[in-house]
Amino acid sequence: GEHVYVAAVYKGRVPGWATKDLRKFVSDLEATFGESFANWNGSPEDLHGVREFMQKFVARFRYHGT
């Protein structure tokens, strides 16, 4: 994304849809938190809601967006 990078670690053969889902997740992450990332000073307290947003990505087998 413009303000964020995401790395994913996957055990086994990576499914064909994984790249598309990861790109959609980064797009949604930027749309929701882009301004916060652009102005972030490194303090976790400044990124309210990011942890919960990330949980939506890792908790599902497929990511379908927000």
Who's near 17: CB < 8 A, 6+ residues apart?
62
Rounded CA separation 47/61 (Å): 25
**Cα separation of 66 and 25, whole Å?**
9
35/59: higher pLDDT: 35
Report residue 41 as tokens: 């000073």
For 23-55, the pLDDT digits (tens) are 999 999 999 999 889 989 988 888 888 888 888
**Stated pTM of the model:** 0.76
CA 21 to chain centroid:
10
